[in-house]
């Protein structure tokens, strides 16, 4: 007898289900992607018991013809690709044609759909984990499709044992809905669990609607402390790259990497190359052990991305990974460097006296409980700003001017001018610098200053450390990296692959101040190193750079090591605690902060300043109650 035999359809589907359907969240992901590919503008998700008992997803997409329903539930059947050319430039979220067959093999699956533009005549098909012999029957249904999945893993008890608690499974499922909701602002989503409404996300493609959805999914604190970026550039043979979205300020960091969403052509992905580029961009502004928060969208020619590298399509492979890595890194690195204190002041807002704040440029109204729109413009008392890092860009455009302080504020500014001759008298609030003017020094550590919005507190050592650090880096970049030859060239035993990579990147090594020659099939020799790294473990540094080049196509190791040295020099060369500063010295430090890149954080990622607005000060003293 032959030892090789063909697997049954049922067993083959259940094996495929093991790759595609890991838990209820996997089912929701696959079905929602089908809904979006079908052109749905509204999707309603209803689940029970974390999705194990019931998952019902209804959309208003194109629907499925009655004759196609059995085929839709068969394995390797799809309407999305028909040739290798389609696969090489696939633009749809799904394309394998395995999802419904895999889901049906481990659940009680019912598919009801109507493809007619008018009328409610639809069809339904069902299967229960057996051979995919599907019989259709008439079933009233508006245009679109409803997928109902009951009793997940009822026929594979071993798989069901691996499921977690209902709360944990629902959290995974909710995360899938969040990701897809962030990928498609033009689609409305609703989610109910055990009869209770969880999310009601309205569709909208305008900037305000997009920001509102991001705030709903990621929390308003993220939007208040995020900057919007948009950058487009070349670098690929077949066209440009575009990166846009929101990145959290370094001061809004997380203990876990739980608020990170990255989309490539609308598909949410987890990619080591992307993660490395973003980590490098935050390298010297993020506190040790913390993780950045971001919602970013990369648009690239579909032909430059291979999405067929994993059954769940969570991973992609870029045809030119180095160009993509460098583009993401440079875009974020520059965006974070360009943040100045002036960008972190609130937009033109005024308080109406009833707890509402009105943007004087757009007419938008904000309240403590959320946002309302389209109201009349109101009174003229300066609204209090958010804390350091809470950008006006979070819920609207960024503005350079703010409403006036009023006569009382002008009198106070004049009084401070009399106390401190170095403080110029100001007639308009627009003339007050972002960080204001120094009032005093507290305990030899903090500078107290008044700006248009209230009180500014500055950690003088942390601020001066960043200023000194950035000046050292600018000086190094202006002079170029100085190298020195080794008295005795250092041989390093490496693999043949590393030798090839070193030879291909000779120009890169020269640009970072190293001279590395090939000395054999499995040997390299280091002849020159940067002067700043003369006391470093150069051999280990070379191995780390080669490892980065192999995995990511680029490396920031040398620059990172040199920056560490400059950071140490800046720390020792900055003003120390308990040093008394004069008012002109304090004001000079404030002006330097306003002009220095990344001045919101010290070299170690700690914040250098914070803002206390009038509303916060009023609450401390129960004013207005």
> Are residues 85 and 212 part of one domain?
no
Integer Cα distance of 223 and 214 in angstroms: 7
Q: What is the pTM of this model?
A: 0.75
Give the model confidence (pLDDT) of 140-188 as tens digits. Answer: 999 999 999 999 999 888 888 899 999 999 999 999 999 999 999 999 9
Residues 131 and 224 placed together within one structural domain of the fold: no
User: Residue 302, SS3?
Assistant: helix
Picking from 193, 192, 165, 20, the residue whose alpha carbon sits closest to that of residue 104 is 20
E-assigned strand segments in 522-583: 523-530
Q: Tell me the C-alpha distance between 242 and 261, whole Å.
A: 16
137 by Cβ neighbours in 10 Å (0-12 / 13-18 / 19+) ranks as exposed
Q: Residue range 49-54: average pLDDT?
A: 97
For residues 225-243, average pLDDT: 83
The residue from 338, 373, 399 where one domain ends is 338
Please say which residue of 150, 175, 201 terminates a domain: 201
Per-residue model confidence as pLDDT tens digits over 196-207:
999 999 999 888
Mean pLDDT confidence for 80-91: 66
pLDDT of 363 reads 39
Cα–Cα nearest to 93, from 307, 273, 390: 307
Q: Domain count of the chain?
A: 2
In a domain, 59, yes or no: yes
Domain boundary among 201, 229, 256: 201
Q: Does 494 map to a domain?
A: no
> Distances in Å between the alpha carbon of 550 and those of 49, 500, 546, 620?
45, 10, 6, 56
Same domain (yes/no): 43, 150:
yes
Q: Is residue 520, in this structure, part of any structural domain at all?
A: no
83 plus 171 within the same structural domain: yes
Q: 3-state DSSP call for residue 485?
A: strand
CATH of residue 228's domain is 3.30.230.10
pLDDT for res 136 = 85
| pLDDT above 70: percentage of residues in the chain | 79
Higher pLDDT, 294 or 129: 294
The pLDDT assigned to 313 comes to 59
Please report the DSSP string for 336-401 in residue order. Answer: HHT--GGGGS--SEEE-SSS-EEETTT--EEETTEEE-SPPP----BPPP-STT--GGGGS---S-
- Comparing 128-132, 199-203, 511-515, which segment has the lowest mean pLDDT? 128-132
Residue 563 or residue 244, greater confidence: 244
pLDDT at 369: 30
Structure tokens at 512: 């970072």
Is 453 inside any structural domain? Answer: no
CATH number at residue 42: 3.30.565.10
Domain contains 271:
yes
In the chain the first and final C-alpha atoms are separated, in Å, by 90
What percent of the chain shows pLDDT beyond 90?
A: 44
Answer yes or no: do 253 and 268 share one domain: yes
| pLDDT band at residue 251 under the 50/70/90 scheme | confident
Q: Do 149 and 211 share a structural domain? A: no
**Kind and range of the H or E run holding 193:** strand 188-193
Question: What mean pLDDT is predicted for residues 342-368?
Answer: 43
Q: Are residues 50 and 178 in the same domain?
A: yes
What are the tokens at 146?
Answer: 């409803």
pLDDT at 401 over 80: no
Mean pLDDT along residues 455-477? 91
Task: Indicate if 193 and 240 belong to the same structural domain.
Answer: no
Structure tokens at 585: 């010295």
Q: pLDDT digits over 590-623, tens only? A: 999 999 999 998 888 888 999 999 989 999 999 8
174 in the same domain as 245: no
Instruction: Looking at the structure, tell me whether residues 195 and 243 fall in a common domain.
Output: no
What's the pLDDT score for residue 96? Answer: 62
Residue 226 within a domain: yes
Same structural domain, 69 and 102: yes
Based on the fold, state whether residues 311 and 177 are members of the same structural domain.
no
* pLDDT at residue 95 in the model: 67
State the CB neighbour count (10 A cutoff) for residue 2: 4
Residue range of the domain that includes 284: 207-338
């Amino acid at each position: 007898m032959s030892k090789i035999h063909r697997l049954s359809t049922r067993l083959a589907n259940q094996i495929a289900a093991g790759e595609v359907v890991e838990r209820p969240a996997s089912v929701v992901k696959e079905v929602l992607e089908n809904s979006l590919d079908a052109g749905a503008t509204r999707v309603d998700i209803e689940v029970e018991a974390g999705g194990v008992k019931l998952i019902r997803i209804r959309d208003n997409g194109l629907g499925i013809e009655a004759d196609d329903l059995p085929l839709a539930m068969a394995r390797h059947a799809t309407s999305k690709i028909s040739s290798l050319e389609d696969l090489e430039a696939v633009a749809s979220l799904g394309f394998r044609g395995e999802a419904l067959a895999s889901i049906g093999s481990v659940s009680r699956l019912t598919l009801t759909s109507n493809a007619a533009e008018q009328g409610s005549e639809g069809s339904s098909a069902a299967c229960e984990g057996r051979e995919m012999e599907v019989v259709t029957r008439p079933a009233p249904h508006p245009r679109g499709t409803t997928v109902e999945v009951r009793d997940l893993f009822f026929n594979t008890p071993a798989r069901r044992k691996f499921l977690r608690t209902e709360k944990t499974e629902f959290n995974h499922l909710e995360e899938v809905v969040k990701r897809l909701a962030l990928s498609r602002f033009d689609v409305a989503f609703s989610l109910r669990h055990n009869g209770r409404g969880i999310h009601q996300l309205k569709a909208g493609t305008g900037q305000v609607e997009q920001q509102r959805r991001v705030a709903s999914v990621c929390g308003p604190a993220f939007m208040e402390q995020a900057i919007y970026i948009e950058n487009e550039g070349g670098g690929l043979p077949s066209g440009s790259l575009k990166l846009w979205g929101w990145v959290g300020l370094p001061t809004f960091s997380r203990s876990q990497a739980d608020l990170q969403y990255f989309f490539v052509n609308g598909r949410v992905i987890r990619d080591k190359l992307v993660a490395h580029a973003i980590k490098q961009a935050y390298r010297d502004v993020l506190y040790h052990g913390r993780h950045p928060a971001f919602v970013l969208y990369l648009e690239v020619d579909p032909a430059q991305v291979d999405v067929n590298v994993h059954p769940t399509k969570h991973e992609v492979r870029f045809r030119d990974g180095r160009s993509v890595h460098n583009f993401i890194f440079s875009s974020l690195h520059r965006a974070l460097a360009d943040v100045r204190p002036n960008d972190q002041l609130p937009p033109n807002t005024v308080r109406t006296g009833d707890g509402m704040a009105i943007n004087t440029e757009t007419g938008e109204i904000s309240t403590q409980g959320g946002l309302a729109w389209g109201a009349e413009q109101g009174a003229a008392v300066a609204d209090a700003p958010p804390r350091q890092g809470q950008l006006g860009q979070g819920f609207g455009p960024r503005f350079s001017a703010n409403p006036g302080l009023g006569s009382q504020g002008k009198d106070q500014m004049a009084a401070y001018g009399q106390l401190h001759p170095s403080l110029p008298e100001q007639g308009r609030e627009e003339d007050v610098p972002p960080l204001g003017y120094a009032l005093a020094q507290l305990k030899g550590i903090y500078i107290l200053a008044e700006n248009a919005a209230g009180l500014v507190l500055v950690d003088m050592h942390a601020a001066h450390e960043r200023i000194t650090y950035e000046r050292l880096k600018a000086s190094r970049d202006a002079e170029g990296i100085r190298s020195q030859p080794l008295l005795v060239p250092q041989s390093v035993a490496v693999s043949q692959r590393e030798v090839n990579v070193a030879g291909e990147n000779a120009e890169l090594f020269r640009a970072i101040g190293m001279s590395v020659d090939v000395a054999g099939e499995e040997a390299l020799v280091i002849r020159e190193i940067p002067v700043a790294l003369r006391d470093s473990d150069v051999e280990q540094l070379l191995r780390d750079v080669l490892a980065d080049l192999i995995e990511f196509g680029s490396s920031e190791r040398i620059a990172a090591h040199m920056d560490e040295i400059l950071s140490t020099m800046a720390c020792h060369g900055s003003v120390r605690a308990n040093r008394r500063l004069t008012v002109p010295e304090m004001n000079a430090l404030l002006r330097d902060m306003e002009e220095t890149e990344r001045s919101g954080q010290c070299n170690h990622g700690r914040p250098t300043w914070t803002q206390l607005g009038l509303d916060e000060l009023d609450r401390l003293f129960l004013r207005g109650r």
